[in-house]
Structure 1
């Protein structure tokens, strides 16, 4: 049966100390890393963030605490999430693959997709990545786990792909690794030094 991302799912994986995924402190470190990397390459403060597969939008208050004036948009396939947090955290209903067709009024300085891609089937993943690359003005924080990682947490539906597969697929879409789950889009790759993005050589 397909996974159901309802309140029971989020209660199990995000609100139980013995099973919970991550902590607020860890999330704050990730957010600061993503923000600082994007601002380093953009050369200015970030103005907006797109959070794909955002779940209950836990990145939203953390990002707002760091950059109160940013515009945040979350996308998730869970009807429960949109019903409960859609208005307060600006979350809309969409799947990862729909990014291949969805377009917004402006590009995004930071795109976040955390703990999602290793559950997405290949055709949908490739469609969505093209959309990310086209709408990315700064840096994408694409946190994921590969076949080489020791995965802790929800293994239901986990797709074990190699690191080489991900890097090659990202590069095909126009995304280049700059380290620590961060990727540059086509707008920035031509403006960086060679050793900042080793995949270029």
Structure 2
């Protein structure tokens, strides 16, 4: 199967999943809690954040979060949807093959990867490792989430691929160490961590 095409992410898609209060997948309170967690933990770890990339930035929900926690940082939104690029002025691009002149301190990739087929997913996970030399926040539904009944099927896009969580982890482990809560720290980051602060470290 092919990855989801750009044409899918039109005005009707965002009306359903983002603008309509009855069917949207995220609300302002959720974003506030999530943003406070991610940014505060990075500040606790003393990860310097000057340049932020939001790849698959959607309607830009992270922009205000980043500005509040890192007021001196630059925020760069990249989006696959032609509709959103025209509406918000994001740079057109895909997490699969987006390139930047220099890596970012924080890369955000939320709700994007489950739209990719296995081959594109593998490329995207490798690319995320190239794009970040600091931290990555990643959110993606896995097959286990469906099997455990965590997913709200009334609100979730039925077109998502159901990749195993292990597939995501394998694709990230070459470039990152897992911190929990969707946060991953680049292996290039010079951040000292105690053994119990990092997952899956012997």
TM-score (norm 1): 0.86
List, as ranges, runs of 4+ consecutive aligned residues in structure 1 with deviation greater than 4 Å.
none
- Report deviation, 1:45: 4.8
Q: Tell me if 1:151 matches 2:151.
A: yes
Q: Offset at 1:128?
A: 2.1
After TM superposition, give the deviation of residue 190 of structure 1 in Å: 7.5
**Whole-angstrom distance in 2 between the partners of 1:44 and 1:134:** 17
Q: Which has the higher helix share?
A: 1
2:137 to 141, 151, 156: 141
Judge which range, 161-170 or 107-116, deviates more.
161-170
Gaps of 5+ in 2: none
TM-score by length of 2: 0.85
Aligned partners of 2:52 and 2:73 also within 8 Å: yes
Q: Is the 8 A contact 1:35 1:110 kept in 2?
A: no
- For residue 169 of structure 2, what is the aligned residue in structure 1? 167
TM-superposed CA distance for 1:118, in Å, is 1.6
Which of 12, 22, 29 is the equivalent residue of 1:25? Answer: 29
Aligned to 1:126: 122
Alignment of 1:9 with 2:8, yes or no, is no
Query: Deviation string for 1:23-46 (max 9, x for gaps)?
Result: 1111111112221222233x2552
CA shift at 1:12, angstroms?
A: 0.9
Match of 2:79 among 76, 79, 86: 76
Contact 1:47/1:71 (8 A) holds in 2: yes
Match of 1:66 among 64, 69, 73: 69
Which residue in 1 is equivalent to 2:39?
35
Further displaced range: 150-159 or 108-117: 150-159
> 3-state SS of the aligned residue for 1:167?
helix
TM-aligned CA deviation for residue 182 of structure 1 = 0.5
**Structure 1: distance between partners of 2:65 and 2:199:** 30
How many residues in Structure 1 have an aligned counterpart in Structure 2?
Answer: 192
Cα distance, 1:14 vs. partner? 0.9
| Separation (CA, whole Å) in 1 of partners of 2:64 and 2:40 | 17
In the aligned structure 2, how far is the partner of 1:134 from the partner of 1:103? 9
